[in-house]
């Protein structure tokens, strides 16, 4: 049976349509697959771009952190170079621009009265400096004459060929004289004490000469030897092992363990007087406090650890003591030191002293030298602002110089401070507040401004009393013996040795503060300390350097 042509045509058309449809479906499926792959590729590319963007941001942040670190290290390097090789003096610099001595009152939120008061104070100080500043004269080296108190040993030298009073020679009365300082090495000798026995004829009683009190019982160490050892270490900064070598050259070998034992014994002898000294210092109403590090050997860890010696100085009676409390620098030491204290305490702004603000009867003062130091370090970072700040602080010291030049008493000084210094401090505070938002907080100038604003009240309080000092340089000078000593003897053997060192440093510091010869005082102390063993009516304060000087038992040491 033959197929219908029309039917065949229809089948062919349907097959072609089906084939076309299949092709379109396959093409659409291919396009859909390609579209899906494109989305995946896009997501992949976007993820990679995000990763690269994040990496770039991290790199930029790392670069910024590195730049900040480099800037900080450069500041530290400049400070260390100046500390090692440059002058560490923080005397006021004269600004390049004379206008920096003035305050821009238009930018400060001050009342007209405050503005006028500050302006008058600045003008008065500036006028005073113009009148009193003297031209610096260069010192010409002059050979010092040798002290008249030294013994003179004459040696006579005659012309060549002169052998006596021959007839051919005529000696003139006129001579030429020169002096040379000679030195005899130290001399050791043995003091032999012989106690004689005797009998009274009337009583038939046999008596023996009494035993003399020696500083350390059953020891051959005399007061003079102990004095030389202790002053050698705690004044001249000579470690004991070096002194052992020095004594060997003099013909005596002293075991280091023996000297170490003597050191603890001497500290024990001084300890009662040390506690009496602490009472006298804390009984005054104005003290300065500071702390310094001292390396301590930790036997468990077999290494040195950082300990702290606390220092308290009475400005009123010029007494000083060191305190060691297991090497801690925490607030607990501050509380223990000043729990019963009443008066003003001047510090360097260490946060551990902030607890004192909560103590009733205590007034806290801060140090302008530390505030000035921050601005001094910022000179290379922001010269204009730093010089302006230094100029304002410099005027506060000009006020002190005015008071010194005019020999003002404490009442006159406090009135001068209130009239001149306090308005300048108020204006300077306003300037720092205005500039704080214009500088980076962690930059050197930002830290300087932040330090001042944090302690502005404590810095201004020195104007309340004419006895108060604008800075605590006195106590910082008292810390220097410890700083010099630790560079030489390097560490203390344990906590007990550090406590004993604090006792000796305290008494040596008092000698220096009142101008008493260290050896003369210590020799007297060791020879007389046992007189106070059983007589409790005597006051140990009588043995302190200032007391012996007041009673003319020990004279003031010669000026160096």
Concatenated DSSP letters of 521-554 = HHHHHHHHGGGGSS-TTS-GGGGSHHHHHHTTSS
Q: Quote the pLDDT of residue 42.
A: 76
CA angle 348, 513, 308 (to 5 degrees): 45
For residue 258, the Cα-to-chain-centroid distance in whole angstroms is 33
pLDDT beyond 90 at 298? no
Query: How many other CB atoms sit within 10 Å of the CB of residue 434?
Result: 14
Q: What pLDDT, in 10s, does the model give residues 212-245?
A: 888 998 899 999 999 999 999 999 888 898 999 9
Whole-prediction pTM: 0.77
Rounding to the nearest 10 degrees, give the CA dihedral for residues 394, 399, 404, 409. Answer: -140
444, 382 Cβ separation under 8 angstroms: yes
Q: Quote the pLDDT of residue 512.
A: 92
Pairing of β 343-346 and β 303-314: unpaired
- Higher pLDDT residue, 429 or 68? 429
How many Å is the Cα radius of gyration of the chain? 40
Q: Quote the pLDDT of residue 182.
A: 87
Cα separation, 236 vs 222, in Å, equals 20
Closest CA to 319 of 145, 500, 512: 512
pLDDT beyond 60 at 107? no
Cα separation, 11 vs 13, in Å, equals 5
Q: What pLDDT, in 10s, does the model give residues 111-131?
A: 777 778 888 888 888 888 777
Q: Which residues pair with 444 in a beta bridge?
A: none
Cα separation, 312 vs 475, in Å, equals 8
Q: Quote the pLDDT of residue 129.
A: 77
Q: Quote the pLDDT of residue 362.
A: 93
Candidate from 81-85, 157-161, 240-244, 333-337 with smallest mean pLDDT: 81-85
Report the chain's mean pLDDT, rounded to a whole number: 84
Rounding to the nearest 10 degrees, give the CA dihedral for residues 13, 16, 21, 27. Answer: -160
Give residue 515's region: left, alpha or beta (phi > 0; psi -120 to 50).
left
pLDDT category of residue 108 using cuts at 50, 70 and 90? low
pLDDT beyond 80 at 2? no
Cα separation, 88 vs 21, in Å, equals 94
Host H or E run for residue 324: strand 319-324
Task: Calculate mean pLDDT across residues 128-140.
Answer: 66
515, 556 Cβ separation under 8 angstroms: yes
Cα separation, 162 vs 164, in Å, equals 6
Rounded (to 5) percent helix, strand, coil in the chain: 55, 10, 35
Query: How many other CB atoms sit within 10 Å of the CB of residue 284?
Result: 17
Closest CA to 133 of 100, 96, 94: 94
pLDDT beyond 50 at 98? no
Dig out the tokens for 125 from the structure: 């100080």
């Amino acid at each position: 049976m033959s197929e219908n042509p029309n039917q065949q045509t229809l089948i062919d058309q349907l097959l072609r349509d089906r084939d076309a449809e299949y092709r379109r479906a396959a093409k659409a499926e291919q396009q859909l697959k390609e579209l899906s792959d494109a989305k995946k590729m896009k997501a992949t590319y976007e993820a990679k771009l995000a990763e690269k963007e994040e990496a770039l941001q991290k790199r930029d942040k790392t670069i910024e952190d590195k730049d900040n670190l480099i800037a900080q290290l450069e500041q530290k390097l400049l400070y260390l170079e100046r500390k090692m090789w440059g002058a560490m003096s923080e005397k006021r610099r004269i600004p390049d621009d004379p206008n920096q001595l003035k305050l821009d009152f238009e930018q400060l939120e001050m009342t007209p009265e405050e503005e006028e008061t500050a302006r008058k104070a600045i003008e008065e100080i500036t006028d005073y400096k113009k009148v009193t500043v003297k031209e610096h004269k260069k010192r010409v080296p002059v050979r010092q004459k040798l002290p008249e108190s030294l013994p003179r040993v004459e040696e006579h030298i005659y012309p060549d060929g002169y052998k006596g009073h021959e007839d051919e020679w005529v000696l003139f009365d006129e001579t030429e004289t020169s002096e040379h300082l000679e030195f005899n090495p130290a001399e050791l000798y043995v003091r032999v004490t012989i106690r004689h026995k005797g009998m009274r004829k009337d009583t038939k009683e046999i008596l023996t000469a009494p035993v003399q009190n020696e500083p350390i019982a059953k020891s051959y160490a005399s007061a003079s030897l102990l004095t030389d050892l202790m002053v050698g270490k705690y004044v001249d900064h000579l470690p004991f092992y070096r002194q052992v070598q020095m004594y060997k050259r003099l013909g005596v070998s002293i075991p280091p363990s023996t000297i170490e034992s003597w050191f603890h014994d001497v500290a024990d002898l001084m300890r009662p007087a040390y506690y009496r000294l602490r009472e006298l210092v804390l009984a005054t109403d104005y003290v300065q406090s500071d702390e310094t590090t001292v390396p301590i050997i930790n036997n468990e860890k077999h290494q040195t650890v950082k300990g702290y010696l606390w220092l308290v100085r009475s400005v009123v009676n010029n007494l000083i003591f060191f305190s060691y409390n297991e090497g801690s620098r925490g607030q607990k030491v501050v509380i223990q030191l000043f729990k019963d204290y009443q008066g003003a305490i001047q510090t360097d702004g260490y946060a551990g002293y902030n607890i004192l603000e909560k103590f009733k009867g205590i007034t806290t003062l801060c140090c302008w030298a530390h505030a000035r130091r921050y601005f001094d370090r910022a000179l290379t970072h922001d010269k204009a602002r730093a010089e302006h700040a230094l100029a304002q602080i410099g005027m506060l010291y000009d006020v002190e110089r005015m008071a010194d030049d005019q020999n003002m008493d404490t009442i006159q000084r406090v009135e001068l401070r209130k009239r001149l210094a306090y308005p300048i401090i108020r204006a300077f505070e306003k300037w720092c507040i205005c500039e704080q938002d214009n500088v980076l907080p962690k930059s050197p100038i930002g830290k300087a401004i932040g330090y001042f604003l944090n302690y502005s009240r404590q810095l201004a309080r020195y104007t309340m009393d004419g006895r108060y000092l604008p800075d605590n340089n006195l106590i910082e000078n008292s810390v220097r013996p410890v700083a010099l000593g630790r560079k030489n003897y390097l560490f203390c053997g344990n906590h007990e040795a550090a406590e004993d060192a604090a006792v000796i440093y305290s008494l040596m510091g008092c000698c220096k503060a009142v101008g008493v010869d260290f050896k003369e005082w210590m020799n007297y102390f060791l020879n007389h300390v046992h007189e106070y063993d059983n007589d409790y009516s005597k006051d140990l304060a009588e043995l302190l350097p200032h007391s012996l000087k007041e009673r003319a038992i020990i004279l003031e040491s010669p000026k160096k």
